[in-house]
Amino acid sequence: MKIKVCGLKHPENINAVAALQPDYAGFILYGKSPRYMANLATDALQTIPASIQKTGVFVNESSENIDRLVTEYGFNAVQLHGDESPEFCAAFKGRVTVIKAFGINEDFDFEQLKDYANNVDLFLFDTKTKEYGGSGKTFDWAILDQYKLDIPFFLSGGVGLEKYKRG
């Protein structure tokens, strides 16, 4: 099991979370998110240990801007949380870890993931909402019984100890 903490935007919070040694630390680069890391100095990420994958989270961003921010902040991974195509994802694979996010509900078509299979390293399954990004709400995890690919995935949306204990 891997843990990704997302939405970091304040240096003191970044340092506190880094001390806990999650596997991934996510930084939102989507201006409409309340967790947008606007104007965060690039040196705020320099203290993060190399064992933690610094992840830039993007929504329908241009590949040029993603490239620039990966270099500027030293991201090891990108999480693509918008309508990015398999080809768009493939442009980053091999340079950084590519995480493609999908909003899940009872109507989700898992067949569409096959087109991404060779173009991403991980999927992230979150609760489907009208907006991009996390809602903190849990979807019915039984839906994941339909997932048949061998690509590992993150669960997102209302994940916590109580949900985990219920199994």
Per-residue model confidence as pLDDT tens digits over 17-71: 999 999 999 999 988 887 888 888 989 998 899 999 999 999 999 999 999 999 9
Please name the amino acid found at residue 49: P
SS3 of residue 142 by DSSP: helix
How many alpha carbons fall within 13 Å on the CB side of residue 111?
2
Domain with 116 in it: what CATH number?
A: 3.20.20.70
pLDDT-based confidence at residue 164 (cuts at 50, 70, 90): very low
Q: Hey, what are 58's tokens?
A: 């993007």
Other C-beta atoms closer than 10 Å to the C-beta of 81 total: 28
**Total count of domains within the chain:** 1
Q: Which residues lie below 8 Å from residue 63, measured CB to CB, with a gap of 6+?
A: 88, 91, 92
* Residues forming a β-bridge with 126: 103
- List the domain range (segments joined by +) for residue 138: 4-166
Q: Is 107 a catalytic residue?
A: no
C-alpha–C-alpha distance, residues 9 and 24, integer Å: 14
Active-site position among 6, 83, 107, 115: 6
Output 142 or 152, whichever has higher pLDDT: 152
Residue owning tokens 């909003």: 103
Q: Is 126 a catalytic residue?
A: yes
Q: Hey, what are 27's tokens?
A: 């930084």
C-alpha–C-alpha distance, residues 141 and 154, integer Å: 12
Active-site position among 43, 83, 115, 126: 126
State pTM to two decimals. 0.89
* Residues forming a β-bridge with 123: 100, 153
SS3 of residue 115 by DSSP: helix
C-alpha–C-alpha distance, residues 62 and 124, integer Å: 20
